[in-house]
């Protein structure tokens, strides 16, 4: 089975096991409407940036290493990385909007 085919995209997120896990961690799942890629566009953009700037460049060897690297990157992304569009960090933009 091709895991990248349209029929299988997101199937793991509709499972009972995933739903129960979100409840256990008190997470509210967010799902796009079928066929509407714009629903989660900003999150998809962030994950693409995270992979390109962090994961693919550093290639962690362990889960622990990946987790530490991602935590560090999220801190950098929110407080140090200037967004081209706004010329602000995400934290500065949120403070400006508040």
Residue 18 lies in a domain: no
Residue 7 lies in a domain: no
Total structural domains in the chain?
1
Residue 59 lies in a domain: yes
| Count of beta carbons in the 10 Å neighbourhood of residue 58 | 12
**Which alpha helices (H) appear in 26-89, and where do they start and end?**
41-50, 56-58, 63-79
Short-list 58, 42, 49, 44, CA closest to 77:
49
Which tokens in the block code for residue 55? 């994961």
- Using only the alpha carbons of the chain, give its radius of gyration: 16
Residue 63 lies in a domain: yes
The CA-atom distances, in angstroms, between 44 and each of 40, 61, 78 are 6, 24, 16
Dihedral through CA 68, CA 74, CA 76, CA 82, nearest 10? Answer: 160
Residue 46 lies in a domain: yes
Residue 19 lies in a domain: no
| Residue numbers of the domain that contains 44 | 36-97
Q: pTM higher than 0.85 for the full model?
A: no
Q: Please tell me the predicted confidence (pLDDT) of residue 42.
A: 81
Tell me the pLDDT of the chain (98 aa) as tens digits: 444 444 455 666 678 888 898 899 998 877 666 767 677 788 888 899 999 999 999 999 999 999 999 999 999 999 999 999 999 999 999 999 77
Three-state DSSP class for residue 93: helix
């Amino acid at each position: 089975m091709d895991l990248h085919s349209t029929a299988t995209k997101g199937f793991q997120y509709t499972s009972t096991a995933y739903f129960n896990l979100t409840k256990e961690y008190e997470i509210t799942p967010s799902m796009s409407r079928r066929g509407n890629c714009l629903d989660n566009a900003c999150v998809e953009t962030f994950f693409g940036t995270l992979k390109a700037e962090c994961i693919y460049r550093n290639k962690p060897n362990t889960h622990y290493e990946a987790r530490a690297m991602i935590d560090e990157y999220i801190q950098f992304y929110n407080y140090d990385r200037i967004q081209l569009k706004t010329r602000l960090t995400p934290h500065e933009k949120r403070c400006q909007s508040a």
